[in-house]
A and B are shown apart, each in its own frame.
Chain A
Amino acid sequence: MVNVMMKGVIMTLAESGSSFNHYAALGVLLLMAVGFGVANVTLTTFLGPSRKGEVKGTVYESGMNPIGSARRRFNVRFFILAMTFLLFDVEIVFLYPWAVTFPSLGGEAVDGGLDLLFLGRMLFFVLTTIVAFVYAWRKGVFRYD
């Protein structure tokens, strides 16, 4: 019975269009991954013993009595790091399509110097990042001591 149902699901996925197939398999994999994660977390909650106690429930700090909560403000460097990361990561993501298209261009003979224009754009784009990088370096963003 389950097999029939599974087969139905798979057939529906498979027949929903040939271009969708790749992602259909990915969907199956994703379902399995989610199922694996959820099943494990659920199973382990029910299996095994369960004992509670006041001391057992305290925050683990190597045997010391905990002082205060862990939800506190932390160093601003991590925020700056996150912003710098965004800058660079977005930059890299923008460059992926470029990196795929650019080497396939044919030079002046084929498409009238589009390759140099592409190169120029990329150089300008990377240059802006380099300026940002030098600025951040001088400002001490990358000094983690």
Chain B
Amino acid sequence: MNVFMDKLALLWPEVAMMLGAVACLLAGLSSRQSLRKATPAVAMLALVVAAVLVRLVPNAQGAYDPGVDPSHFLGLGGMVPFVKMSVLALGLILVMVASGTPEALRQVIAAEAKEGKAFEPGDCFRGEFYAFMLFSLTGVMLCAGASDLVWLFLALELTSLPTYVMAATSRDKPAAQESAVKYFFLGAMSAAVFLYGFALIYTATGLTEFGPIVAYVEQNGVSPMMLTGVVLAVVGICFKIAAVPMHFYTADVYEGAATPVTAFLAFVPKTAGFVSLIGILGLVGWGESHGGTASELPEPLVYLLALIAVLTMTVGNVLGLMQQRIKRVLAYSSIAHSGYMLVGLLVGPEAVHAATGSNTLLSNGLAAVLFYLVAYGLSTVSSFAVVACMSRADGSEVETYDDLAGMRQRHPFLSGVLLVSVISLVGLPPLVGFLGKLYLIGSAYAAASAGSATAWVYPAVVVAMVLNSAISAGYYLRIAAVAFFGTDSGQTVELDLPTRRWGAAIAAGAALLLGGLPGNLLVESSRKAAEPPLPNAVPGATLDRQNADDTPPRETAEAGPASAPH
């Protein structure tokens, strides 16, 4: 009908998620208990519907088709449907894992005791819990689709704000509130930092849309103010991915929140952060890939990212080695994995290093990040879910290695799931974690042989990564060893939550399965997703891709914004 409706059509999955969230909110308020109990099912239904819609809508893939009006293109290109699908799939598992969390709260139990008219919706917040999960997942999907700084900021905030409340209300303990307050204030601070970065980018270019900014940068180069803005944005978003300058909150927050919520925190904000980082870094680098003139990120950014990556993985693993509590161990492990993923971000898309003609399957850094996000998400969610499936005899959460001791005798199924997920986190061969690491290292290797001025960085980072994987094996295998060979402490019981158990099992099963042949399909699809260098896939740049062969680069850059109707 018109541009508005066509643009809206690209967002149907998000609209479905929002409607699902609203349905969750309202279902949680119903005076009928059966309807209230169906809230998680409503959330899962919304996720499935959204996934179907992602497949159905004429998504961003159309942008590569010259027949399609490029002005309808949204955001990061082919990556969008991939990220949306993986977020929805992981979101389904997360909702399964989280089901039963709000129901365990004293306040909700007391409110649920009243039936019919006596039910007091103000005392019960089951609906909000699931609705917030959906809101946060929607935020990640919007981050993936963002093609504008303002949009990106709003999407990031939509991702984060619900998680603060979820952390606060997930447990009856003051620790949960403490963690939420800590998370909220630090999150607000980080938002200020990256918002300031966005503001500086806007100041430097006078633009907020990604496409025109890329065209502007290609024409005028990266000014110091632009670089400062990007650095601030990267540092601010480091909070979301729990990377080094902003990682201090991680262990405390993860420990304070209820374990299913911790699983959520470990995957969802991190995905949002990485997707946003891809968008932001794409503004200053990875452009002009066609015709063989690879442009890397600006040199300071390469060094900064390499430093952050190495520090993050080292800090995460070394501190993880020293922890005694399972959730803290997993929290530091999540920090370390952010470090690994930053390596892929450092490498950038395949095309930058295409000139070397190396093995293309293993040379695309962004595809590696996308794949690794899924791999890491599956493994870490299933390991958190196993911890969440058990409790001590007195009802408190499982905390230390001792609680896990001898799990194999008491909970053989759960210990099997734990073993799979832990080995996947280490990155041992038959599992998806191995594939992810291989892919990251491969891309860094390809970048190292590209022969650019900063090429020496990549081998160093790879060495750090391999060393760190060895360190991490220390605590991961300790978990497995304790669970399988420790003497049974006899303290733990398994909770009667079949959905959560199956959520853990599905995640671990997927980690196992995707390590094999189906994993290659996922690798291939993530590679396809990240195939065209992202910022170049924006409207104006899509056009210069087509006439790049016969026009000098300077002119195409000028033609870019003009040919894109904004």
Residues on A lying within 8 angstroms of B by beta carbon are 113, 117, 131, 134-135, 138-140
Task: Flag if A131 contacts B26 (CB, 8 Å).
Answer: yes
Question: Given the complex of chains A and B, what is the CA–CA distance between A138 and B5 in angstroms?
Answer: 33
Asked if B120 CB lies within 8 Å of chain A CBs, one says yes
Bound complex: CA of A139 vs CA of B120, how far in Å?
Answer: 8
Q: Is B137's beta carbon under 8 Å from chain A?
A: no
- Pick the contact of B122: A113, A117, A134, A140 (CB < 8 A): A140
Is the beta-carbon distance between A135 and B25 smaller than 8 angstroms?
Answer: yes
The answer to whether A139 and B22 touch across the interface, beta carbons within 8 angstroms, is no
CB pair B29–A135 under 8 Å, yes or no, is yes
With A131-B22, A134-B26 in contact, do A117 and B120 touch (Cβ < 8 Å)?
no
Minimal beta-carbon separation of B333 from chain A (angstroms): 38
CB of A117 within 8 A of CB of B2, answer: yes
Q: Is B474 in the interface zone, CB < 8 Å from A?
A: no
Q: How far apart sit A131 and B121, CA to CA, in the bound complex (Å)?
A: 15
* B-chain residues with CB within 8 Å of residue A117 when the two chains form the complex: 1-2, 4-5
Q: What's the least CB distance linking B136 to chain A, in Å? A: 18
> CB-CB < 8 A to A135: which residues of B?
25-26, 29
Whether the pair B26, A140 counts as a contact (CB closer than 8 A) is no
Rounded to whole angstroms, the CA-CA distance of A138 and B30 in the bound complex is 9
Given contact pairs A131-B26, A135-B29, A140-B122, enumerate 5 new A-B contacts (beta carbons under 8 Å): A117-B1, A117-B2, A117-B4, A131-B25, A139-B122
Which of the residues B1, B2, B4, B29 comes within 8 Å of A138, measured between beta carbons? B29
Interface of chain A, main secondary structure:
helix
Residues of A within 8 A of B121 (CB): 138-140
Q: How far, in whole Å, are A140 and B122 apart by their CA atoms in the complex? A: 6
A134 vs B25: C-alpha distance when bound (angstroms)? 10
Please, which residues of chain A bring their CB within 8 A of the CB of B29? Answer: 135, 138-139
Residues 10-49 of chain B: 1 if any A CB is under 8 Å from the residue's CB, otherwise 0? 0000000000001001100100000000000000000000
Ordered by A's residue number, 20 sampled pairs between the chains whose C-beta atoms are within 8 Å are A113-B1, A117-B1, A117-B2, A117-B4, A117-B5, A131-B25, A131-B26, A134-B26, A135-B25, A135-B26, A135-B29, A138-B26, A138-B29, A138-B121, A139-B29, A139-B121, A139-B122, A140-B120, A140-B121, A140-B122
Chain A residues positioned under 8 Å from B5 (CB to CB): 117
C-alpha spacing A131/B23, complex, angstroms: 10
Task: A138 to B127: give the CA distance in the assembly, Å.
Answer: 12
With CB as the reference atom, state the residue of chain B lying closest to A114: B2
Taking the closest CB of chain A, its distance from the CB of B108, in whole angstroms, is 14
Contacts of B120 in A (CB 8 A): 140
Secondary structure at the B interface, as helix, strand, loop or mixed, is helix
Shortest CB-to-CB span from A144 to chain B, Å, is 13
| Distance in angstroms between the alpha carbons of A117 and B4 in the assembled complex | 10
Q: Which of B96-144 contact A (CB under 8 A)?
A: 120-122
Rank and list the top 10 A-B pairs by shortest CB-CB distance, nearest first.
A140-B122, A138-B29, A138-B121, A139-B122, A131-B22, A135-B25, A139-B121, A135-B29, A135-B26, A140-B121
Give A117 to B2 CA distance when docked, in angstroms.
Answer: 10
Interface core residue of A131, A134, A139, A140 (most chain B CB under 10 Å): A139
Complex contacts, A131 vs chain B, CB 8 Å: 22, 25-26
Q: How far is the CA of A66 from the CA of B504 in the complex (A)?
A: 61
Nearest CB on A from B19, distance (A) = 10
**Chain B residue nearest to A120 in the complex (CB):** B5
Give the chain B neighbours of A134 by CB distance below 8 A: 26
Of B4, B5, B121, most buried by chain A (CB within 10 Å of CB) is B121
User: Which residues of B are found within 8 Å of A113, using beta-carbon distances?
Assistant: 1
**Distance to closest chain B CB from A87 (angstroms):** 14
Shortest C-beta distance, B129 to chain A (Å), equals 14
Q: Within the assembled complex, what's the spacing in Å between the Cα atoms of A135 and B22? A: 9
B197 to chain A, nearest CB (A): 27
**Which A-chain residue is minimally distant from B4 (CB atoms)?**
A117
B444 to chain A, nearest CB (A): 47
Report A-chain residues with C-beta under 8 Å of the C-beta of B122.
139-140
A117 to B29, CA, bound (A): 32
- Give the Cβ gap from B2 to chain A, nearest Cβ, in Å: 7
Separation of A53 and B4 alpha carbons in the complex (Å): 70
Which residue of A is nearest B23, CB measured?
A: A131
Q: Smallest CB–CB gap between B244 and chain A, Å?
A: 36
In the complex, which residue of chain B has the Cβ closest to the Cβ of A134? B26
How far is A135 from B25 in the complex, measured between Cα atoms in Å? 7
Bound together, the chains give a CA A61 to CA B22 distance in angstroms of 48
**Contacting residues, chain A, for B4 (C-beta < 8 A):** 117
Given the complex of chains A and B, what is the CA–CA distance between A138 and B117 in angstroms?
A: 12
Q: How far is the CB of B158 from chain A (nearest CB, A)?
A: 15
Residues of A within 8 A of B22 (CB): 131
Which chain B positions have C-beta within 8 A of A138? 26, 29, 121
A138 to B2, CA, bound (A): 38
